[in-house]
Amino acid sequence: MNPHNSLSYRVQPGGSLSGSVRVPGDKSISHRAVMLASLAEGVSEVRGFLTGEDCLCTMKAFRAMGVRIEQLQDAQLRIHGVGLRGLHGPADALDLGNSGTSMRLMAGLMAGQRFATTLTGDASLSRRPMRRIVEPLRLMGARIDTTPAGTAPLRIAPADRLQGIAFASKVASAQVKSGILLAGLYAEGRTEVTEPDASRDHTERMLRTFGVTVEAEPGRAALSGGQTLRAGDIKVPADISSATFFMVGAAIVPGSDLLLPDVGINPTRTGVIEILRRMGADIELLRPRSFGGEPVADLRVRGRRLRGIEVDRALVTAAIDEFPAIFIAAACADGHTLVTGAEELRVKESDRIQAMCDGLQRLGVAAAAEPDGARICGGRLGGGVVDSLGDHRIAMSFAIAALRAEQPLTILDCENVNTSFPGFAELAAGAGLRISALKPG
């Protein structure tokens, strides 16, 4: 019986990954496509949209504000933009589920509206820090209340006016940067964000696709308020963060040979490729091309022996969502791996440093949590029961660890895999993972 009354995975040890696996659309880009197309003048089409729960929350929120969004096929949307000033106040609070991206980006957008909104989320999202976005928005003139702990629900009242700011963010966060830039569309004058390291730049790229003039360089982005967004068509690459589970799964089993088509290789996201290569992985980028403003390639990954490394801090931001899977690669590598400068992992959908180290220890791996990372000693992986804590990336990381485990693995609380990767278990089973999903009850 599953104590969480949620889906669990049962994964038999061994196997290898082979063939071609097309993972679903990029989550970050799918959110932005719905948001920007909704605010554009005219009709946009989005292909390759991720129909994961997180992006569906964004879609429902914009529908609740009067935007007509047709789902032509599973992953194809036609969005009838209403223009920057065309949204209507929603009847109820907007429930953004598990999605930090929806909440932080929409905090910025909602701050510029002439109606009030309340943004809510599930238990995990309601624990995540929101001051990092609320404080800069208040400097712009936004009227936003949080709980005393600085968390959601966010109650956003219409502001008299927003004023552009130059904001130096202490964290390298695309959610913070993007929320401020989106508020900047409604602000007087220029809005600029600088950050200590270059976070993903999908917002800047897509704003340009929609005809907005944006100044952008790694670590800095700026725009002027009042610009009109013009409808455009978006083709969403396969999500490198979802591809990562397969990349690591193939890399840790000598003899694996896997092709991952159409993967987004935006340089602000490819830290995982560099880290795995430095561990000795064989990853080739084939047919480099672009989907609109975003670079893509087909990735070919072949299994080899990996070695532990000291992960370069300069690669952390560009691999931030991939560390749970990188920890699994480290557990399967020869020697020690040290991750530092990654304290942001503690405020993701779960405390990913703790969740991964606890789970690895359950499998018999020497993994020591540090405030800003972990030290992992590669070795043999046993089996047993691991709690994903409802975090999609923890669940998928331990699922692929079974490829190198010596006994079966049970992973608890896996329902939220649907937030970013609907169909993960089926796709992974097709490629060679011995996984079955056990329904609650």
Q: Give dist(CA 290, CA 208) in Å, integer.
A: 15
Task: Supply 429's token pair.
Answer: 């089973």
What's the order of all strands across the beta sheet hosting 154-157? Answer: 94-95, 117-120, 154-157, 143-145
The smaller minimum CB distance to ligand S3P, of residues 38 and 178, is found at 178
Q: Tell me which residue has tokens 């006016």.
A: 161
Compute the least distance from the CB of residue 376 to ligand S3P, in Å. 21
Distances (CA, A) of 15 to 214, 395, 400, 427: 48, 18, 10, 15
Rounded distance between C-alpha atoms, residue 398 and residue 181, angstroms: 36
C-alpha closest to that of 55 among 35, 73, 82, 40: 35
CB 415 within 8 A of CB 5: no
Binding site for ligand S3P (CB under 6 A): 28, 101, 173-175, 178, 199-200, 320-321, 344
Angle (deg, nearest 10), helices 202-209 and 174-184: 30
Of the pair 344, 372, the CB lying nearest ligand S3P is at 344
Catalytic residue among 321, 351, 387, 413: 321
The number of CA neighbours under 13 Å toward the Cβ of 293 is: 17
Minimum distance of ligand S3P from residue 173's CB (angstroms): 3
Provide the minimum distance between the beta carbon of 99 and ligand S3P in the complex, in angstroms, as a whole number: 9
CA dist 407 and 399 (Å) reads 12
CA 236 – CA 294 distance, rounded (Å): 8
Nearer residue to ligand S3P within complex by CB, 200 or 205: 200
* Shortest separation between residue 200's beta carbon and ligand S3P, angstroms: 6
Q: Calculate helix-pair angle for 131-139, 100-111, nearest 10 degrees.
A: 10
Cis before residue 408, ω within 30 degrees of 0? no
Q: What share of the chain is helix, strand, coil (3-state, %, to 5)?
A: 35, 30, 40
From the CB of 441, what's the least distance to ligand S3P, in Å?
A: 31
> Is residue 321 annotated as part of the catalytic site, yes or no?
yes
Q: How far is the CB of 205 from ligand S3P (least distance, A)?
A: 12
Closer residue to ligand S3P, CB minimum distance, 195 or 298:
195
Joined tokens for residue 334: 């020869």
Rounded CA-CA distance 11/398 in Å is 9
Of residues 275 and 320, the one with the C-beta less far from ligand S3P? 320
25/308 with CB nearer ligand S3P: 25
Cβ proximity to ligand S3P, 191 vs 199, nearer residue:
199
- Residues noted as catalytic: 321
